[in-house]
Amino acid sequence: MKKIILLFLCFSVLVSSCKKDDLIYDLNQVNATSYNANKNKLKTIPQYISILFANLFQKALSANELLEITNCIESIGDKEVAHEIVLSNFMNKSGVTLPSDSLMRADVNAFIEQTYKRFYVRDLTEAEREFFLNFFESHPDVSVEMVYTAFSLSNEYQFY
């Protein structure tokens, strides 16, 4: 009996001694979204418009207006042109919610991060951060409206 107990103890020690603890470094864990956030579906015109409107006005577009704007976009063949016209029409309306240019300039880093989150629903890469930091430095007159327009018209924004 003693032998059996001894063998059992030896076996237990051997098994437990092989278990490896997970390494934990002294850093906070971050949940990062993937590079293109797995976007592979093209938004329909109503999807694009309703999301764009919500992004700019922080509220939902009415069903009637959604239909009217969809018709407008369908009536112009070059969708880039159509989107640009509709978007600049939005920018001319009261109620569009944009941070001020001075706020943007006060913390460009934070503004870029928030803009990527707002429009692309993902984190930016260091290369993207570098581009925009340099761009803002070399283009001191760039406004929030211009940045938001560029993001709204970009191809990534057409996908989800």
Q: Which residues bind other proteins (CB under 8 A)?
A: 35-36, 39-40, 42, 65, 68-69, 71-72, 74-81, 84-86, 88-89, 91-93, 127-128, 131-132, 135, 139, 141-142, 146-147, 149-151, 153-156, 158-159
Q: 71 or 100, CB closer to other proteins?
A: 71
Q: Which long-range CB contacts under 8 A does 79-83 form with residues at least 24 apart? A: 80/153, 83/48, 83/152, 83/153
Least separation, in Å, of the C-beta of 144 and other proteins?
12
Q: 41 or 100, CB closer to other proteins?
A: 41
Least separation, in Å, of the C-beta of 50 and other proteins?
14
120-154: b (≥16 Cβ within 10 Å) or e: bebbbeeeebeebeeebeeeeebebeebbbebbee
Q: 24 or 77, CB closer to other proteins?
A: 77
**Using CA atoms, how far apart are residues 41 and 9, in angstroms rounded to an integer?**
58
**Using CA atoms, how far apart are residues 144 and 99, in angstroms rounded to an integer?**
7
Q: 29 or 77, CB closer to other proteins?
A: 77
Least separation, in Å, of the C-beta of 18 and other proteins?
42
Task: At 96, list the tokens.
Answer: 């569009």
Q: 10 or 110, CB closer to other proteins?
A: 110
Compute the radius of gyration of the chain from its Cα atoms: 26
Least separation, in Å, of the C-beta of 56 and other proteins?
14
DSSP H or E run through 51: helix 45-57
Least separation, in Å, of the C-beta of 131 and other proteins?
6
